[in-house]
Structure 1
Amino acid sequence: MTAPNNNPLHGVTLEQILNTLVAHYQWQGLAQRIDVRCFKSDPSIKSSLTFLRKTPWAREKVEQLYVQLQRKG
């Protein structure tokens, strides 16, 4: 018998994470919390996903913000 996975990111796609954050913070609030241009200048899910998949440090910040949000709720 295996222990349950305690990783809050398990089974959650980057797109789901981004959609959740945008729904909660809106693009402006997200840009205030994570200072990247793809959230500030003509933001879209598609362009943000492209950037985050190529930029590990930014993806890590997005994932950390998502985990913080999940712990609050």
Structure 2
Amino acid sequence: MSNQQPNNPLHGVTLQQIVTALVEHYDWDGLARRIDIKCFKNAPSIKSSLTFLRKTPWAREKVEGLYLSTFNRHAPRRIV
């Protein structure tokens, strides 16, 4: 049984891919300015960020929203 999500723009994109793309695009400082969370400010790493984001739904939503608004022109802008 296929678990397709045609209306989900993040379908098939892992959280690691999202964080990596954002870091490559903005670098850690730029990412921390856009989303004010400690894991992007204090000794940031992909691993520590993934650990935090997997446990913190509100922060993950902000990261996913920034990813969509940065790399998908048709996505709604959901972040502050």
Fold in common (TM above 0.5) = yes
TM-score (norm 1): 0.89
Q: Which runs of 5+ in 1 are unaligned?
A: none
Residue type of the alignment partner of 2:23? V
Greater helix share, 1 or 2? 1
CA distance in 1 between counterparts of 2:70 and 2:6 reads 19
Residue type of the alignment partner of 1:20? A
Q: CA deviation at 1:8?
A: 1.7
Partner of 2:61: 60
Larger RCO of the pair (alpha carbons < 8 Å, separation 6+): 1
Name the % identity.
70
Q: CA RMSD in A?
A: 1.2
Partner of 1:41: 42
TM-score (norm 2): 0.82
Q: CA deviation at 1:30?
A: 0.2
Count, aligned residues:
69
Provide runs of 4+ in structure 1 moved above 4 Å: none
